């Protein structure tokens, strides 16, 4: 099953997890409120490696027991003894999960200098390893997260802490504020003995922090100095304020398959990107940080504020972040000559596009593995190059108006390539949709031929 049935659609989540890095796994309870479109006896959710211990559906004070059954590795079926009536229901599911100690997906554990840390990485298909959920990008709803953690540890998530209190067993319960509407892959948390470094506020007053591995706060100085200014530059470019309550930058010791992840309000970076020893700092390290940070922060608008409706449009996230990230890096430090990197990015895209195996930017998703395969140079580099080309075609000011309109029209919702082309077309006063489609819906690039003609007397 590539996509879940749309019979039950969540409208909010409230999840409580007991996270202790010193033990092997975690306990969780999630309450999923949603709408059942029609009478149904089975509700399908995503779930991987979770042991469900109890599940009930409740409506207007009435509880109905549900039996959970695993189907394959990724799906959970919750069956009632009799069909549930259409309407609003809350599914309350208690379960147990395990930390991944060999990879960096789902809820994973890493140990540094004897101290264990817990992190999450949910893009693209891994939120289902932390909670039973509707793990698809067009299911974009508010989440409220509560973590029970050892009292001496620091816990962080997408939103600020709303309430904190001591509980039994040397633990504390931390309730985070409800998020803005988010797809499951952008939910995140971290637990560990982090050092917390204040990084000031944005011009709009949003607090920024850097969380490092224990004892490495001094290496966060450059990230702390530059993060809020990068957010300010993006606000100017997009003409809209940073959309979340705060920004935390969280360092991860080692990652596999990603260098950073744009979780809303909680971006994770591998330590080699974010932490720079002041005694060994180089312009190359600083440039690398600014380039990646600009890309990830740009996602807070493209990908987070406005999310692609399905994975075939992931280029709307990654191509945009590459395109915008280079603009911001150039504004931050013109002496870096970011236009050279832009040419290199285009050439890499052309090279990849010349291969027999080249694919189109909007690649149809036929099986789940196709989702993982779209995170490649075609999506990132060709996507960014196509945007750069169309910006030149319609003009920078017109393109910027279209981008701003697109963000305004789809705030905290989902959108498609068609929606984006429509916004640019409206700003340009002409339909650029068909031209966009020729670059998005087929591999390769147009072949141009030139003939030199020497006219008599020329």
So which residues are the catalytic ones?
296
Q: Could you tell me if 185 and 139 are in contact, meaning their C-beta atoms sit under 8 angstroms apart?
A: no
Cα(397)–Cα(394) distance, rounded to whole angstroms?
Answer: 8
Cα(54)–Cα(68) distance, rounded to whole angstroms?
Answer: 8
Cα(244)–Cα(202) distance, rounded to whole angstroms?
Answer: 12
Count CA within 13 A, CB hemisphere, residue 162.
Answer: 12
Structure tokens at 183: 């797809």
Structure tokens at 110: 């890493």
Question: Of 130, 98, 103, which Cα lies nearest the Cα of 256?
Answer: 103
Q: Which residues pair with 344 in a beta bridge?
A: none
Q: Which residues pair with 176 in a beta bridge?
A: 161
What is the dihedral angle through the alpha carbons of 339, 344, 346, 351, rounded to the nearest 10 degrees? 170
Q: Which SS3 state, helix, strand or coil, does residue 310 take?
A: coil
Cα(237)–Cα(325) distance, rounded to whole angstroms?
Answer: 11
Structure tokens at 207: 């607090």
Cβ neighbours of residue 458 under 8 Å, at least 6 residues apart? none
| Residue 106 Rama label (left phi>0; alpha psi -120 to 50; beta) | left
Structure tokens at 228: 């809020």
Q: Are strands 161-167 and 195-201 parallel, antiparallel or unpaired?
A: unpaired
């Amino acid at each position: 099953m590539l996509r879940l049935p749309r019979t039950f659609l969540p409208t909010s989540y409230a999840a409580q997890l007991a996270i202790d890095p010193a033990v092997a796994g975690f306990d969780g309870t999630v309450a999923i409120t949603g709408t059942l479109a029609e009478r149904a006896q089975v509700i399908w959710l995503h779930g991987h490696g979770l042991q469900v211990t109890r599940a009930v559906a409740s409506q207007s004070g009435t509880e109905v027991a549900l039996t959970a059954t695993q189907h394959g590795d990724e799906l959970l079926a919750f069956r009632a003894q009799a069909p549930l009536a259409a309407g609003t229901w809350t599914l309350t599911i208690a379960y147990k999960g395990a930390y991944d100690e060999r990879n960096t997906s789902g809820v994973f554990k890493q140990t540094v200098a004897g101290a264990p840390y817990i992190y999450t990485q949910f893009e693209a298909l891994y939120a289902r390893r932390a909670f039973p959920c509707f793990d698809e990008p067009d299911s974009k709803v508010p989440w409220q997260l509560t973590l029970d953690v050892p009292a001496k540890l620091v816990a962080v998530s997408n939103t600020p802490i709303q309430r904190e209190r001591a509980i039994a067993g040397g633990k504390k319960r931390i309730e985070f504020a409800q998020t803005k509407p988010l797809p499951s892959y952008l939910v995140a948390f971290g637990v560990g003995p982090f050092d917390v470094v204040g990084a000031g506020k944005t011009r709009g007053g949003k607090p920024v922090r850097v969380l490092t591995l224990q004892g490495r706060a001094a290496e966060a100085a450059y990230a702390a100095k530059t993060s809020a200014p990068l957010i300010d530059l993006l606000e100017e470019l997009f003409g809209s304020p940073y959309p979340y309550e705060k920004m935390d930058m969280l360092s991860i010791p080692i990652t596999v398959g990603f260098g950073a992840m744009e979780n809303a309000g909680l971006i994770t970076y591998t330590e080699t990107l974010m932490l720079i020893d002041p005694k060994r700092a180089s312009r190359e390290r600083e440039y690398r940080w600014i380039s990646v940070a600009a890309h990830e922060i740009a996602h807070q608008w493209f990908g987070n504020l406005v999310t692609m409706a399905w994975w075939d449009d992931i280029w709307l996230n990654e191509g945009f972040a590459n395109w915008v990230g280079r603009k911001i890096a150039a504004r931050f430090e013109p002496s870096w000559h970011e236009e050279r990197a832009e040419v290199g990015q285009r050439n890499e895209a052309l090279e990849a596009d010349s291969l027999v195996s080249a694919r189109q930017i909007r690649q149809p998703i036929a099986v789940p593995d196709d989702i993982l395969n779209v995170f490649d140079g075609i999506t990132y580099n060709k996507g960014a190059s196509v945007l750069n080309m169309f910006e030149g075609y319609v003009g920078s000011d017109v393109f910027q108006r279209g981008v701003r309109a697109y963000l305004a029209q789809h705030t905290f919702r989902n959108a498609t390539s068609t929606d984006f082309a429509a916004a640019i077309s409206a700003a340009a006063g002409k339909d650029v949709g068909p031209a966009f489609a020729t670059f998005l819906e087929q591999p390769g690039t147009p072949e141009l031929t030139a003939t030199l003609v020497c006219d008599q007397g020329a």
